[in-house]
Chains A and B, each alone.
Chain A
Amino acid sequence: MNTYITINYVLLAIVFTFLFVEGMSAISFIYDRKSLPKVKKYLDPVWGIVGTFVVFFVVNTEVLYPSIMPAIDYLYVFPILLATLLFIGRNVFLVFSEYIWKDSKFSQLMLARVYSLITFIIIIILLSIFISIISGVGTNATLTGFSTSVFLSNPYVLGFIVGTLLIAFGLSFVFYKIEKMNVLSPISTVLGLFLFVFSISHLGLNVNYLTYILAAAIAAVSIFYYMTGKARREIIFIVAFLSVISINFLNYGKVFGTQSLTSYLNNSAVASAGILVTIVGGFLLTAMLIFFLYMYKLPEKENSSYDYEESSDEDEKVGIANLYIIPNNNKVNGKEHKAGKDRKR
């Protein structure tokens, strides 16, 4: 197994896991308006990190396979630039929805829903590029042209995209504990899984018992939530990550359907240096993410150390997240809702 390819696959799996969860957020904004505070509580602190992971994957790909870039650029220039353009919209509408003032003609929910629509399109574009790169659907033999009509008329491509979105819809109930018609959760998840597995196998991708085990695990998470109302977000992250990485490994080294990814590997010393930077940077990144997670889970402090001579009013000690950003942002982050729900705000 090649180290470079493995690292790239791991990054791809992280990116798609984050995007998958973001897809669930987008679905929730549209499906259930009551989910808004729950979703924003998860989404607001992490949207910047998700975007950075996308860029991380793109640059890592460039470091490891620079010679594949001209082909990808010519084949997918339009969808890539479109997704990039929409990415600005995603950030803008998300942050505007976070800060929009009360008497504005644009409501927080409305802006969040525009964000959702944009995010949907981005995810559909990225899924399309992913499936085209891995299966070769839509590309010509010389990798100089992409046929949109061939791509869109392939029912399995549509099955792959629709299946993924149905799974995301089903699991969004679990991730955000949405109660509105939660019977749809297992139905959508199971239907999506059938469609997804059926489609990828007909797209010429390898599927084996591991795929079925993961599909069963995803279905079980959804059914278990429907039956008991209990769920852990970590499980969704883990199964999503394992699903993406399993697809990659079951189709190891495969690109544009029949070509070998190894032939595009960077043979220069840059690739080795890139691994060194990945290890050092990855270590720092992991440490920062652990710190982030620690802070996310940490309850809010009971006593503020704000100590201004001119005032001792408790109301003034309330931090930025509550005063200026989103009034309910940190109220139920992690454990603090248990300890602090009666605290004065």
Chain B
Amino acid sequence: MVNLVLFDAGLMGYSLAVHILLVTVGMTLPIIMSIAEFVSIKYKVKIYDVLAKRLANALIIFFAVGTASGVVVAIELFVLWPKFISVLGQVGILPLYMEIFAFFTEAIFLGIYIYFWNKFKSRIRHWLLSVFIAIGAVMSGVFITMINAFMNTPKGFNIPYYLSTGKIIDVNPFAVLNTPTTWIEIGHVIGSTIFAGAAFFLAYFAYKLLKTKGIEREYYKKAAKIAAAIVIIAIILTVIIGIESITNLMVYQPEKFAALEMNFNSGPHVAEVIGGFLVNNKTIDSINIPGLMSFLATGSFNGVIASNDSLSAYAKSTWPPITVVHNTFDIMVGLGVLIGILMVIFLIIWLLNVDKIRDKFESNKFFNRLLSKKIFSDPFDNPLVLKVLIVIGALAAFLLEDGWVTDEVGRQPWIIYNVMTVSAAANTSPSVLPIGIAIIAFYVVVLPATILFVRRVMKKRDLKSELGVKP
């Protein structure tokens, strides 16, 4: 007999895992498109205009699949977790409701942007539409993250009364907009989503830079520069906010923090546990760095870790799967920081190759010697750097999924932290099974088909004719 709670959780998790990939594209594409169109208007460079148009093509296709996928996730939220949604409806559903209007903003302005492109006399007004599209896309993410923050740190009703009676009183519907984790989570989620999306496109442009030449290469180089700038800004912000979110976790979700760190200790000079497995309540095969957790948490190697930041303070029944979340967390932090460092190095090399900076240091022998080395050449012309960017693009998608797993699995067994368990919220109707399997199968086909379709649509374009270059 299939465990329906597990099936519901698996189906929801799978749908979300696919959906967030589409969201990364849907959130980043309007930003790149908007920048490209703005540059084309400001500097009257047509190649950027062509870029904006091509990206608009890709956006509408991804939007079609992404919105449908969003509907699937929203409906799944309603039908798979009826008791959760019933509590959410009485306490904290406002962000979900507000998201609809953000979604409308994106859908309506995207329709106008693409289908009525010709009708605008003023290019700058047309460009403004892309700003609204980007705002709508980002705000959708902001509002849905508010719901997630509510699940992590519930607020806005009398929780002790609800736990003892099952009744909801003292509701403050706006409290959900500002839980202790809301803004940190929004910063981290939006930052990492835009990072992953931009890294994905940067990888694609880097691949094209390796494969093309002439005017086409010039086109992809310009596109890559926009994407690279976004990646650099986003990864730096994501890492900074990520560090802040760990501190936030210690205070507001200490059990989750202890699980992510696989920490059983408290007091001063607590070691940081890297990697490893939990077997019979003991950590094995891990690397322990003495005092590092104390240092990261308090700024001192002898800093005190509170007892509630240790797993020993909690009943085993409320632990999430420790080995899974600890390792996904370590991978997220490790890879995130590594990519951050790589992108900062990339930025430095990029800046060194900017004409104005190059000219300024022209007489400097050290600088000239440095730039004569291949590694310090223009990063967009360096095959090694381009290959690294492709790898970063793939890792970024992995990192996004990994971070999401860390957050969601780290909250188990709760759907609303310390209020409602996943099993209490699940729809255990067997009708879920066949259609759930169909959804899983459908996604397996739809996502690759969409990517291939967009690739084919793009391939069919002739850049020279789009640019008006006579053969």
Query: When the two chains form the complex, which single residue of B57, B69, B108, B435 contacts A78, counting CB atoms closer than 8 Å?
Result: B435
What B residues does A329 contact at CB under 8 A? 115
What A residues does B49 contact at CB under 8 A? 306, 308
Report the stretch among A20-28, A93-101, A159-167 that lies at the interface.
A93-101
Shortest distance between the CB of B32 and any CB in chain A (Å): 16
How far, in angstroms, from A310 to B436 measured CA to CA in the complex? Answer: 55
Which of B74, B75, B123, B436 gathers the greatest number of chain A CB atoms within 10 Å?
B75
A268 interface hit (Cβ, 8 Å): yes
> In the complex, are the beta carbons of B94 and A96 less than 8 A apart?
no
Query: When the two chains form the complex, which single residue of B65, B171, B453 contacts A268, counting CB atoms closer than 8 Å?
Result: B171
> In the complex, are the beta carbons of A292 and B112 less than 8 A apart?
yes
Shortest distance between the CB of A256 and any CB in chain B (Å): 16
How far, in angstroms, from A325 to B88 measured CA to CA in the complex? Answer: 41
Q: Given known contacts A51-B68, A88-B69, is B56 in contact with A320 (CB within 8 Å)?
A: yes
How far, in angstroms, from A306 to B50 measured CA to CA in the complex? Answer: 12
> In the complex, are the beta carbons of A270 and B435 less than 8 A apart?
no
What B residues does A87 contact at CB under 8 A? 68, 71-72
B466 interface hit (Cβ, 8 Å): yes
> In the complex, are the beta carbons of B71 and A55 less than 8 A apart?
yes
How far, in angstroms, from A319 to B450 measured CA to CA in the complex? Answer: 24
> In the complex, are the beta carbons of B121 and A310 less than 8 A apart?
no
B120 interface hit (Cβ, 8 Å): yes
Secondary structure of the B side of the interface? helix
> In the complex, are the beta carbons of A81 and B432 less than 8 A apart?
yes
A216 interface hit (Cβ, 8 Å): no
A291 interface hit (Cβ, 8 Å): yes
In the complex, which residues 6-24 of chain A have their Cβ closer than 8 Å to any Cβ of chain B?
none
Q: Given known contacts A69-B78, A311-B46, is B53 in contact with A77 (CB within 8 Å)?
A: no
A250 interface hit (Cβ, 8 Å): no
Number of B interface residues, CB 8 Å? 87
**Inter-chain contact count A-B, CB under 8 Å?**
270
> In the complex, are the beta carbons of B67 and A52 less than 8 A apart?
yes
> In the complex, are the beta carbons of A45 and B439 less than 8 A apart?
no
What B residues does A296 contact at CB under 8 A? 116
What B residues does A99 contact at CB under 8 A? 57, 61, 453, 457
> In the complex, are the beta carbons of A298 and B438 less than 8 A apart?
no
Shortest distance between the CB of B413 and any CB in chain A (Å): 21
Report the stretch among A224-232, A234-242, A273-281 that lies at the interface.
A273-281
> In the complex, are the beta carbons of B112 and A291 less than 8 A apart?
yes
A267-306, CB under 8 A of B: which get 1 and which 0? 0111011100110010011001101100110111101111
Query: When the two chains form the complex, which single residue of B57, B80, B115, B435 contacts A85, counting CB atoms closer than 8 Å?
Result: B435
Shortest distance between the CB of A343 and any CB in chain B (Å): 10
How far, in angstroms, from A309 to B457 measured CA to CA in the complex? Answer: 28
A342 interface hit (Cβ, 8 Å): no
CB nearest neighbor in B for A316: B468
How far, in angstroms, from A73 to B439 measured CA to CA in the complex? Answer: 17
B360 interface hit (Cβ, 8 Å): no
> In the complex, are the beta carbons of A58 and B44 less than 8 A apart?
no
Q: Given known contacts A320-B53, A320-B114, A321-B118, is B429 in contact with A77 (CB within 8 Å)?
A: yes
What A residues does B79 contact at CB under 8 A? 73, 77, 80-81
A181 interface hit (Cβ, 8 Å): no
Shortest distance between the CB of B34 and any CB in chain A (Å): 14
A130 interface hit (Cβ, 8 Å): no
B412-444, CB under 8 A of A: which get 1 and which 0? 000000000000000101011011101100100
Shortest distance between the CB of B431 and any CB in chain A (Å): 4
Shortest distance between the CB of B245 and any CB in chain A (Å): 28
Report the stretch among B95-103, B279-287, B362-370 that lies at the interface.
B95-103
In the complex, which residues 136-195 of chain B have their Cβ closer than 8 Å to any Cβ of chain A?
168, 171-174
> In the complex, are the beta carbons of B118 and A324 less than 8 A apart?
no
How far, in angstroms, from A52 to B49 measured CA to CA in the complex? Answer: 29
How far, in angstroms, from A307 to B121 measured CA to CA in the complex? Answer: 12
In the complex, which residues 36-70 of chain B have their Cβ closer than 8 Å to any Cβ of chain A?
44-46, 49, 53-54, 56-57, 60-61, 63-65, 67-70
What B residues does A88 contact at CB under 8 A? 65, 68-69, 71-72, 442, 446
CB nearest neighbor in A for B460: A101
B372 interface hit (Cβ, 8 Å): no
Q: Given known contacts A49-B107, A63-B97, A277-B98, is B82 in contact with A319 (CB within 8 Å)?
A: no
Shortest distance between the CB of B68 and any CB in chain A (Å): 4
A60 interface hit (Cβ, 8 Å): yes
CB nearest neighbor in A for B45: A308
Query: When the two chains form the complex, which single residue of B168, B446, B456 contacts A92, counting CB atoms closer than 8 Å?
Result: B446
What A residues does B110 contact at CB under 8 A? 48
How far, in angstroms, from A40 to B449 measured CA to CA in the complex? Answer: 22
A155 interface hit (Cβ, 8 Å): no
How far, in angstroms, from A268 to B88 measured CA to CA in the complex? Answer: 11
Q: Given known contacts A73-B78, A88-B72, A289-B108, is B456 in contact with A101 (CB within 8 Å)?
A: yes
Query: When the two chains form the complex, which single residue of B82, B92, B97 contacts A69, counting CB atoms closer than 8 Å?
Result: B82
Shortest distance between the CB of A67 and any CB in chain B (Å): 6
A249 interface hit (Cβ, 8 Å): no
CB nearest neighbor in B for A296: B116
A323 interface hit (Cβ, 8 Å): yes
Which of A89, A281, A303 gathers the greatest number of chain B CB atoms within 10 Å?
A281
CB nearest neighbor in A for B53: A320
A318 interface hit (Cβ, 8 Å): yes
Which of B79, B91, B427 gathers the greatest number of chain A CB atoms within 10 Å?
B79
B89 interface hit (Cβ, 8 Å): yes
| 26 A–B pairs (Cβ distance < 8 Å), ordered by A | A45-B116, A46-B111, A48-B107, A62-B89, A66-B86, A66-B90, A69-B86, A70-B82, A74-B82, A77-B429, A77-B432, A81-B432, A82-B438, A85-B439, A95-B61, A101-B457, A281-B98, A281-B104, A284-B101, A291-B108, A291-B112, A301-B118, A309-B44, A311-B468, A324-B56, A330-B118
Please report A residues at the B interface, Cβ cutoff 8 Å.
44-49, 51-52, 54-56, 58-60, 62-63, 65-67, 69-70, 73-74, 77-78, 80-82, 84-85, 87-92, 94-96, 98-99, 101, 266, 268-270, 272-274, 277-278, 281, 284-285, 288-289, 291-292, 295-296, 298-301, 303-311, 313, 315-316, 318-325, 329-330, 333
Q: Report the 5 A-B pairs with minimum CB-CB distance, sorted nearest first.
A: A66-B89, A319-B118, A319-B117, A95-B64, A273-B173
Given contacts A70-B83, A270-B173, A315-B468, 12 further A-B contacts (CB under 8 A): A51-B67, A54-B71, A58-B78, A66-B89, A69-B78, A78-B432, A81-B439, A288-B104, A305-B122, A311-B468, A321-B116, A325-B60
